[in-house]
Chain A
Amino acid sequence: MSSTVEGALEKAATTVRKVRPTWPVVLLALAGVILLLALLRVITGADDVASSGTVRAAIRAALPIGLAGLGGLWAERSGVVNIGLEGMMIMGTFGAGWAGYQWGMWAGVAFALLFGALAGGVHAIATVGFGVDHIVSGVAINVIALGAAQYLAGLAFTGHPGGGPTQSPQVTPMSTFDVPGVADAAHSIAEKNWFFVSDLAGIVNGLTSRLTVLTLIGVLLFVLTWWVLWRTTFGLRVRSVGESPAAAESLGVSVYRYKYIAVIISGALAGLAGAYLVQDSTVYREGQTGGRGYIGLAAMIFGNWRPGGLAAGSGLFGYTDALRLRSGGESVHALLLLLAVLLVVFGLALFRKNRRQALVSAGAAVLLVVLFLVTDEIAGDFTGMTPYLTTLLVLALFSQRLRMPKADGQVYRKGSAG
C-alpha cells in the first residue's frame, strides 16, 4: 500500500517535472525578459517598465495576492477547496487594524494570523468535521467574515481619533530598510541610463530598497511552503490526504488531523495577506481586500497548485497592475509589444508539437502588433483590464497541463477506506 501512495505521488511528480524548467533555464528566461524590457524601453520610450518604483509597487500588489494564494495552496493540497480566502483575508485586515492601532503593527500581524486561523478553523470544522460542501462553507465564510468585520469595526473604531465604522485609526507602519551596499550601488547604476545594465540595476534596486521585515517574511513563506510540503514527511502526509485520503488512512495517517492543520494554516496565511494590506495602507478599511482572495485562488490554480507557479502568477499580476496604475496608457501600450514578442517565442517553441496552438499564438501576436502600431495609448477603460488579461493570457498559454490534487474538493468521511 505504501508503495501505491508513494508511487502515485512520484508518478504525478515526474509528469509535472517533465515540463518543469530547471534553474539555468529560469535564470536565462529572466535575463531574456529583462533584455526585452530594456529593448522595450528604448523603442517605445516607456521609461517606467523596468523602474525601481514599478518593481516596488509590483511587489506590494503581488504579495497580498500571493499570500492568499499560498493559503489556498495549503488547503487544496490537503484536499479542501478554500473559496473562503477572501473572508479570511477580511478577518485578517480587521485583526491587523484593531490590534495594530493599539499595540503596534507586529501585534496587528499576530492578530491577523489568529483571526485568519479562526476563520480557517471554522471552514475546517464545517468541511472536514461535518462534511459540508466546500464551496458552500467557503461562501458562507465570505459572508460571515464581511458581516463580522463590519459589526466589530463599528464597535471597535467608532469614536477613536481617525476611526469610524468603516475605518480604523491609523496604524504606525513598520520601518523600512535598504539592503546595505546593494541598494545604493544599484540605484546609482540605474541613474546612468545604460542599456540593459541600468534596467537590471533598477529592478535590483526595487527589490532591495525600502523593504519591510513583513515583505521578507512573505517571500520566505513561499520557500518555506515548498520545503515543508515537498521535502518533509509532514508535507508528504498533507499532500497524501489531498491525493488519496483512503490510502493515507489505511497507512495510519490521521486524515482529519492533517486536513485540520492545513486548512487552519491556510486561514492564517490569508489573514497575513490581510495584515500586509493594512501595513501597506496604514489603516483597516471596509472593502479593502477588493477580491484579492479570489485572484489569489485563481493564480494558485493557474500556477498548477505549486508555490513557484503561484509566485509567477501573482508576480505577473502585481507587475501589470502596478504598471497600469503608475503610468497608465503609455506603459500598457508598450506592454502590447512585449506580449507580442512573447507570443511569437511561444509559438516557435510549440511549432513542432502543436501546429494549431502555435498558429493561434502567432495570430494573436500579429493582432497585438497591429494594435500597437495604430494606437498611441490604450484608453483608460481598457488599462484597468490589463492585469487580468495579461495574467490570463500568459498563464493560459504556459500552463497547459494543470493537475489538481486528486481528491481536491471531495468530502472524505473517516473509515471509508474500509
Chain B
Amino acid sequence: MRRSTKFAAALTAGILSLALTACGGSSDDNGSAKESTGSSGAKSDIKVGLAYDIGGRGDQSFNDMAAAGLDKAKSEFGVKASESEATPDEAESAKEDRLIQLADGGYNPVIAIGFAYSEAVGKVAKQFPDTNFAIVDDTANTDANVTNLVFAEEQGSFLVGAAAALKSKTGDIGFVGGVNVPLINKFEAGYDAGAKAVNPNIKIESAYLTQPPDFTGFNDPGKGKTAAEGQFDGGADVVYHAAGGSGLGVFQAAKAAKGLAIGVDSDQYLTAAPDLQPSILTSMIKHVDVAVYNFIKSFKDGDPLTGTVTFDLKSGGVDYSTSGGQVDDIKSKLDDFKKQIIDGTITVPTTVK
C-alpha cells in the first residue's frame, strides 16, 4: 500500500512537472533563444520585446502580421528583439509575467499584441515607468508610457460591406463574428453601414459564435461553418467573417453553398487552400505590421508615438484586398467610397444600431 502511494505521488509530480515544462516551452523560455538581429541595415541598441497573442508567429493571421512588422524593423534598423507568445486559457498572471520578463530583461519598447493583454499592460507599465509599452487593439490604458495602437476596423469593414452588397444577387448578406465583444461589433457596424450605403434595403444576417468570457469562438471552424451555412440556407450569398480561425468554416460553407465569403485581418486569399480561393471575394486587411513597424520606427527616431494612435484608411492601416480579382469590376466604386471616408464625407459608425 505504502509503496503504491509513493509511486502515485511520484507519478503525479512527474506528470505535473512535465505539463509545466510543456506549457512553459512555448511561452517563457524564448527570451534568449529567439533573440536575433537583422543582418543588414544600421546597427541599433534598441531591444524590442514582442508578446504575441495566442498562436504566435506562424498563425497566418494577426500575429504573423505583427511579426512581419517586426521583421521589417529588424532588417531596416537592425533592432534586436525577443518574442514570446500566449497560450490558450492561460492565467492573467502568465501575461503579466511575460511582460515583466521582457521589461526586466531591458527590452524597450515592449509591444503586446491583442486586447487580451489590456490588464497586464496596465499593471506592468506602472511597475516599469521608464519602459515604453505599446498594445494593439486596446484603448483602456492611459498611462504616459503606454501607446495604444488601434485600427479603424469599421472603415475597412465598410468597404467590404459595400463589396458584399454590390456582389449580392439575393439582396441578403451575412456576418459571422467570433466573439461578441465591442471590438468585433465594430467590424459588424462598418459592414452594415457599407452594405446599406449601396443598397438601403439589404437584409443582413448576423451571428456570433460565442459570448465572452468564452473566447473559443475564434478557434472553432465547426461553429463557423454551422453559422455561415445557416445564413447561406437563409438566402444570403455573401458572408463576411471576423472570427479568426473559425473563418475557415465560413469559407467551406461558402464553397458548399456556391456563395462568397470575405476574409479578415490578412489577405486570406493568399493563405487559403486552392479549392477555397474561388469562394473568397476579398479580405478586410488590418495592417498590424504597419502599426508595429511605425511604432518601432518612431521610437528609433527618438519621438515615440504616444497616447492612442488610430490606423485608418487614410494612413493605410486598414484596406481591402484585391487578390483573386473578384472585386476588379467594382474597384472604382469601392475606391470612391474609400475617398469619401478619407475626406470625411462619410462617417462610419463603430457600434451596431
A interface residues, Cβ below 8 angstroms from B: 48, 51, 53-54, 57, 60-61, 122, 125-126, 129-132, 136-137, 140-141, 143-144, 146-148, 150-151, 154, 158, 162, 164-167, 170, 277, 280-283, 285-288, 290-291, 321-322, 325-328, 380-381, 384-385, 413
Residue of A nearest to B177 (CB): A380
Tell me, in angstroms, the Cα distance from A53 to B226 when the chains sit together.
Answer: 9
Known: A147-B22, A285-B221. A381 touches B226 (CB 8 A): no
**Is the pair A147, B23 in contact by a Cβ cutoff of 8 Å?**
yes
**Is the pair A380, B208 in contact by a Cβ cutoff of 8 Å?**
yes
**Is the pair B19, A384 in contact by a Cβ cutoff of 8 Å?**
no
Interface: B125 (CB within 8 A): no
Interface: B12 (CB within 8 A): yes
Binds A, one of B228-236, B296-304, B342-350: B228-236
Q: Which of A122, A165, A285 contacts B26 (CB 8 A)?
A: A165
**Is the pair A281, B88 in contact by a Cβ cutoff of 8 Å?**
no
Tell me, in angstroms, the Cα distance from A321 to B214 when the chains sit together.
Answer: 15
**Residues on B with beta carbons closer than 8 Å to the beta carbon of A287:** 54, 88-89, 216, 219-220
Interface: B4 (CB within 8 A): yes
Tell me, in angstroms, the Cα distance from A144 to B60 when the chains sit together.
Answer: 26
**Is the pair B55, A130 in contact by a Cβ cutoff of 8 Å?**
no
Among B205, B245, B271: residue with most chain A CB under 10 A: B245
**Is the pair B23, A283 in contact by a Cβ cutoff of 8 Å?**
no
Q: Which of A144, A166, A281 contacts B15 (CB 8 A)?
A: A144
**Is the pair B230, A146 in contact by a Cβ cutoff of 8 Å?**
no
28 A-B pairs with C-beta separation under 8 A: A60-B225, A61-B223, A126-B12, A130-B4, A130-B5, A132-B12, A140-B15, A140-B16, A143-B23, A150-B23, A150-B26, A150-B87, A151-B25, A164-B64, A165-B55, A165-B85, A166-B55, A281-B220, A283-B221, A290-B214, A290-B219, A321-B226, A325-B226, A325-B227, A380-B206, A381-B211, A384-B180, A384-B208
Q: Which of B56, B230, B271, B273 contacts A327 (CB 8 A)?
A: B230
- Chain B nearest CB from A166 CB (Å) reads 4
Known: A140-B15, A167-B59, A385-B211. A288 touches B220 (CB 8 A): yes
CB-CB contacts of B189-210 with A at 8 A, as 1s and 0s? 0000000000000000111111
- Chain A nearest CB from B266 CB (Å) reads 12
B interface residues, Cβ below 8 angstroms from A: 1, 4-5, 7-8, 11-12, 15-16, 18-23, 25-26, 54-60, 64, 85, 87-89, 180, 205-211, 214, 216, 219-223, 225-227, 229-231, 233-234, 245, 248-249, 252, 271, 273
- Chain A nearest CB from B260 CB (Å) reads 18
Residue of B nearest to A57 (CB): B226
Q: Which of B7, B87, B209 contacts A325 (CB 8 A)?
A: B209
Tell me, in angstroms, the Cα distance from A269 to B287 when the chains sit together.
Answer: 43
**Residues on B with beta carbons closer than 8 Å to the beta carbon of A136:** 12
- Chain B nearest CB from A9 CB (Å) reads 29
Known: A130-B11, A325-B223. A151 touches B22 (CB 8 A): yes
**Residues on A with beta carbons closer than 8 Å to the beta carbon of B180:** 380-381, 384
- Chain B nearest CB from A179 CB (Å) reads 19
- Chain A nearest CB from B150 CB (Å) reads 23
Tell me, in angstroms, the Cα distance from A322 to B227 when the chains sit together.
Answer: 8
Tell me, in angstroms, the Cα distance from A22 to B205 when the chains sit together.
Answer: 42
Q: Which of B7, B205, B221 contacts A281 (CB 8 A)?
A: B221
**Residues on B with beta carbons closer than 8 Å to the beta carbon of A290:** 210, 214, 216, 219-220
Among A141, A167, A280, A321: residue with most chain B CB under 10 A: A167
**Residues on A with beta carbons closer than 8 Å to the beta carbon of B211:** 380-381, 384-385
**Is the pair A144, B11 in contact by a Cβ cutoff of 8 Å?**
no
Residue of B nearest to A158 (CB): B58
Q: Which of B8, B22, B64 contacts A131 (CB 8 A)?
A: B8
Since A150-B87, A164-B57, A280-B221 are in contact, a sample of 4 more A-B pairs with Cβ atoms closer than 8 Å, ordered by chain A residue number, is A146-B88, A165-B26, A326-B227, A328-B205
Ranked 4 nearest A-B pairs via Cβ: A326-B230, A147-B22, A164-B58, A281-B221
Known: A281-B249, A328-B207. A162 touches B11 (CB 8 A): no
**Residues on A with beta carbons closer than 8 Å to the beta carbon of B25:** 147, 151
Residue of A nearest to B257 (CB): A53
- Chain B nearest CB from A394 CB (Å) reads 21
**Residues on B with beta carbons closer than 8 Å to the beta carbon of A129:** 4
Q: Which of B205, B219, B229 contacts A285 (CB 8 A)?
A: B219
Known: A165-B58, A281-B249. A57 touches B230 (CB 8 A): yes
**Residues on B with beta carbons closer than 8 Å to the beta carbon of A322:** 226, 230
